[in-house]
Amino acid sequence: DAGITQSPRHKVTETGTPVTLRCHQTENHRYMYWYRQDPGHGLRLIHYSYGVKDTDKGEVSDGYSVSRSKTEDFLLTLESATSSQTSVYFCAISGRANTIYFGEGSWLTVV
């Protein structure tokens, strides 16, 4: 258990509504990441953070924003959810460079 908690674990929302997913870690790791996982694709990086208030875009960042006001929390926000954002979202953390540890996932359905 990597000390990562994601919430909510499951959510159904309507197109056009804002959604925020939360990732909480108890490991005090510097790096935190948000990925999405879809059939036929490997895990794809959305955004990541390398410290409090320090974030950067990943491969599929359009339509997503993030915030990190505390070391332990990393929030992913869909400002206006679309059906293409229906996915499984994983938070990950790393203390040692390159090796990342994943949370249990958040299943999001946009209808």
Partner 1 sequence: GESVGLHLPTLSVQEGDNSIINCAYSNSASDYFIWYKQESGKGPQFIIDIRSNMDKRQGQRVTVLLNKTVKHLSLQIAATQPGDSAVYFCAESPYTGTASKLTFGTGTRLQVTL
Count of residues engaged in binding partner 1, rule: CB under 8 A:
32
Q: Does 54 bind partner 1 (CB under 8 A)?
A: no
Stretch that binds partner 1, among 60-68, 69-77, 78-86, 98-106 (CB under 8 A): 98-106
Nearer to partner 1, 41 or 70 (CB): 41
Contact residue for partner 1 among 33, 34, 64, 74 (CB under 8 A): 33
Round to whole Å and give the CA distance between 63 and 43: 17
Q: Which of 8, 45, 7, 19 is nearest to 111 (CA)?
A: 19
Nearer to partner 1, 5 or 77 (CB): 5
For residue 42, the minimal CB distance to partner 1 (Å) is: 3
Query: What one-character-per-residue DSSP string does 99-110 give?
Result: --EE---EEEEE
Which tokens is 41 given?
């694709």
For residue 28, the 8-state DSSP code is -
Contact residue for partner 1 among 3, 13, 20, 45 (CB under 8 A): 45
Round to whole Å and give the CA distance between 70 and 45: 21
